Amino acid sequence: MPWKTAEAIKISEKEREILTKLSLGTSVKLNIKTRATIILKASEGISINKTSNELHLNRITVKHWRDKYQDTSEHLQKMQKENPRKLRAEIVKVLSDEQRSGKPPEFTLEQRALIIALACQNPEDLGLPFSHWTNKLLKEEAISRKIVNTISTSQVNRFLKQAGFEASQSAGMAQSKH
Protein backbone atom coordinates (compact mmCIF):
# COMPACT_ATOMS: atom_id res chain seq x y z
CA MET A 1 0.00 0.00 0.00
CA PRO A 2 1.57 3.33 -1.00
CA TRP A 3 2.11 5.88 1.72
CA LYS A 4 0.22 9.14 1.55
CA THR A 5 2.70 11.98 1.19
CA ALA A 6 2.46 14.45 4.05
CA GLU A 7 2.99 18.14 3.56
CA ALA A 8 6.70 18.70 4.06
CA ILE A 9 7.89 20.91 6.88
CA LYS A 10 10.09 23.64 5.47
CA ILE A 11 13.48 23.90 7.17
CA SER A 12 16.59 25.85 6.26
CA GLU A 13 19.86 24.21 5.26
CA LYS A 14 21.33 25.28 8.61
CA GLU A 15 18.41 23.65 10.46
CA ARG A 16 18.87 20.49 8.35
CA GLU A 17 22.57 20.43 9.22
CA ILE A 18 21.85 20.82 12.95
CA LEU A 19 19.01 18.28 12.93
CA THR A 20 21.17 15.76 11.05
CA LYS A 21 23.98 16.14 13.60
CA LEU A 22 21.47 15.74 16.43
CA SER A 23 19.91 12.64 14.84
CA LEU A 24 23.30 10.99 14.37
CA GLY A 25 25.07 12.28 17.48
CA THR A 26 26.53 9.73 19.89
CA SER A 27 26.32 11.99 22.94
CA VAL A 28 22.82 13.31 22.23
CA LYS A 29 19.90 12.18 24.38
CA LEU A 30 17.84 9.51 22.66
CA ASN A 31 14.60 11.50 22.80
CA ILE A 32 16.30 14.47 21.05
CA LYS A 33 17.81 12.14 18.40
CA THR A 34 14.40 10.59 17.73
CA ARG A 35 12.64 13.94 17.51
CA ALA A 36 15.31 15.35 15.19
CA THR A 37 14.80 12.31 12.96
CA ILE A 38 11.03 12.92 12.96
CA ILE A 39 11.58 16.50 11.77
CA LEU A 40 14.08 15.45 9.10
CA LYS A 41 11.59 12.89 7.76
CA ALA A 42 8.85 15.53 7.88
CA SER A 43 11.05 17.91 5.89
CA GLU A 44 11.37 15.20 3.22
CA GLY A 45 7.56 14.88 3.05
CA ILE A 46 7.49 11.41 4.62
CA SER A 47 4.06 10.69 6.07
CA ILE A 48 3.23 10.47 9.74
CA ASN A 49 2.22 6.81 9.32
CA LYS A 50 5.42 5.83 7.56
CA THR A 51 7.56 7.74 10.07
CA SER A 52 5.75 6.15 13.01
CA ASN A 53 6.24 2.67 11.49
CA GLU A 54 9.91 3.21 10.66
CA LEU A 55 10.73 4.62 14.10
CA HIS A 56 8.35 2.30 15.99
CA LEU A 57 6.51 5.25 17.51
CA ASN A 58 2.88 6.09 18.08
CA ARG A 59 1.31 8.22 15.31
CA ILE A 60 0.23 10.76 17.92
CA THR A 61 3.84 11.18 19.09
CA VAL A 62 5.08 11.77 15.54
CA LYS A 63 2.28 14.24 14.82
CA HIS A 64 2.91 16.08 18.12
CA TRP A 65 6.60 16.71 17.36
CA ARG A 66 5.93 17.64 13.72
CA ASP A 67 3.28 20.15 14.83
CA LYS A 68 5.41 21.52 17.65
CA TYR A 69 8.37 22.10 15.33
CA GLN A 70 6.13 23.59 12.65
CA ASP A 71 4.61 25.96 15.24
CA THR A 72 8.09 27.28 16.11
CA SER A 73 9.38 27.60 12.54
CA GLU A 74 8.94 31.39 12.40
CA HIS A 75 10.75 31.77 15.69
CA LEU A 76 13.61 29.55 14.48
CA GLN A 77 13.90 31.51 11.20
CA LYS A 78 14.05 34.76 13.16
CA MET A 79 16.65 33.26 15.52
CA GLN A 80 18.75 32.14 12.58
CA LYS A 81 18.83 35.69 11.19
CA GLU A 82 19.40 37.47 14.52
CA ASN A 83 21.69 35.07 16.34
CA PRO A 84 22.70 32.03 14.26
CA ARG A 85 25.11 30.76 16.93
CA LYS A 86 22.17 30.10 19.27
CA LEU A 87 20.13 28.21 16.66
CA ARG A 88 21.30 24.74 17.77
CA ALA A 89 20.44 25.46 21.41
CA GLU A 90 17.03 26.77 20.38
CA ILE A 91 16.31 23.67 18.25
CA VAL A 92 17.29 21.43 21.18
CA LYS A 93 14.97 23.48 23.40
CA VAL A 94 12.08 22.97 20.95
CA LEU A 95 12.76 19.21 20.83
CA SER A 96 13.05 18.90 24.61
CA ASP A 97 10.35 17.88 27.04
CA GLU A 98 8.58 20.69 28.81
CA GLN A 99 9.03 21.01 32.55
CA ARG A 100 6.35 19.27 34.52
CA SER A 101 5.36 20.29 37.97
CA GLY A 102 5.33 16.82 39.45
CA LYS A 103 3.68 15.92 42.70
CA PRO A 104 4.24 18.55 45.39
CA PRO A 105 6.03 17.31 48.50
CA GLU A 106 3.70 16.14 51.23
CA PHE A 107 5.87 17.56 54.01
CA THR A 108 7.51 20.96 54.18
CA LEU A 109 11.13 21.44 55.11
CA GLU A 110 9.91 23.02 58.33
CA GLN A 111 7.90 19.91 59.22
CA ARG A 112 10.91 17.71 58.53
CA ALA A 113 13.12 19.91 60.68
CA LEU A 114 10.61 19.88 63.54
CA ILE A 115 10.39 16.08 63.50
CA ILE A 116 14.18 15.78 63.46
CA ALA A 117 14.46 18.35 66.27
CA LEU A 118 11.92 16.37 68.26
CA ALA A 119 14.00 13.21 67.75
CA CYS A 120 17.03 15.06 69.16
CA GLN A 121 15.26 15.84 72.43
CA ASN A 122 15.11 13.50 75.41
CA PRO A 123 11.49 12.34 75.77
CA GLU A 124 11.75 12.42 79.57
CA ASP A 125 12.76 16.11 79.43
CA LEU A 126 9.49 16.72 77.58
CA GLY A 127 7.54 14.99 80.35
CA LEU A 128 6.87 11.87 78.30
CA PRO A 129 6.71 8.46 80.00
CA PHE A 130 9.54 6.83 78.04
CA SER A 131 13.28 7.32 77.78
CA HIS A 132 13.97 6.71 74.05
CA TRP A 133 12.23 7.48 70.79
CA THR A 134 10.95 4.88 68.40
CA ASN A 135 9.65 5.78 64.96
CA LYS A 136 6.13 4.99 66.17
CA LEU A 137 6.47 7.23 69.22
CA LEU A 138 7.93 10.06 67.08
CA LYS A 139 5.04 9.68 64.67
CA GLU A 140 2.47 9.86 67.46
CA GLU A 141 4.16 12.85 69.12
CA ALA A 142 4.51 14.75 65.81
CA ILE A 143 0.78 14.27 65.20
CA SER A 144 -0.21 15.20 68.76
CA ARG A 145 1.95 18.37 68.56
CA LYS A 146 0.24 19.15 65.22
CA ILE A 147 3.56 19.23 63.37
CA VAL A 148 1.79 17.07 60.76
CA ASN A 149 -1.78 15.84 60.36
CA THR A 150 -0.65 12.35 59.47
CA ILE A 151 2.62 10.55 58.76
CA SER A 152 3.74 6.94 58.52
CA THR A 153 6.43 5.43 60.73
CA SER A 154 8.42 4.60 57.59
CA GLN A 155 8.32 8.27 56.53
CA VAL A 156 9.61 9.26 59.99
CA ASN A 157 12.38 6.70 59.50
CA ARG A 158 13.29 8.18 56.08
CA PHE A 159 13.53 11.69 57.57
CA LEU A 160 15.80 10.42 60.33
CA LYS A 161 18.00 8.48 57.90
CA GLN A 162 18.35 11.56 55.67
CA ALA A 163 19.35 13.55 58.76
CA GLY A 164 22.11 11.09 59.64
CA PHE A 165 20.32 8.96 62.21
CA GLU A 166 20.45 5.21 62.05
CA ALA A 167 18.08 2.69 63.58
CA SER A 168 19.32 1.03 66.72
CA GLN A 169 19.31 -2.75 66.79
CA SER A 170 17.15 -2.71 69.93
CA ALA A 171 13.50 -1.74 69.59
CA GLY A 172 14.01 0.44 66.46
CA MET A 173 15.27 3.47 68.40
CA ALA A 174 16.89 6.29 66.49
CA GLN A 175 20.48 7.23 67.31
CA SER A 176 22.58 9.92 65.74
CA LYS A 177 25.68 8.86 63.79
CA HIS A 178 27.37 12.10 64.78
Between 6 and 129, name the one with better pLDDT. Answer: 129
40-84 residue pLDDT tens:
999 999 999 999 999 999 999 999 999 999 999 999 999 889 888
Q: What is the pLDDT of residue 148?
A: 96
The last residue of one of the domains, among 66, 95, 124, is 95
Tell me, yes or no, whether 60 and 120 share the same domain. Answer: no
User: Above 50 in pLDDT, residue 170?
Assistant: no
Q: What is the pLDDT of residue 167?
A: 59
> pLDDT class for 171, splitting at 50, 70, 90?
very low
Provide the total of helices (H) and of strands (E) in the chain, helices listed first: 9, 2
Average pLDDT over residues 17-38: 95
The last residue of one of the domains, among 68, 95, 122, is 95
Q: How many CB atoms lie within 10 A of CB 175?
A: 14
Whether residue 163 is contained in a domain is answered as yes
> Any residues with CB less than 8 A from the CB of 166 and at least 6 apart, and which?
174, 175, 177
Tell me, yes or no, whether 72 and 123 share the same domain. Answer: no
Count how many domains the chain has: 2
Domain of 136 in residue numbering reads as 109-176
- pTM attached to this predicted model: 0.56
Tell me, yes or no, whether 58 and 20 share the same domain. Answer: yes
User: Above 60 in pLDDT, residue 175?
Assistant: no
Whether residue 127 is contained in a domain is answered as yes
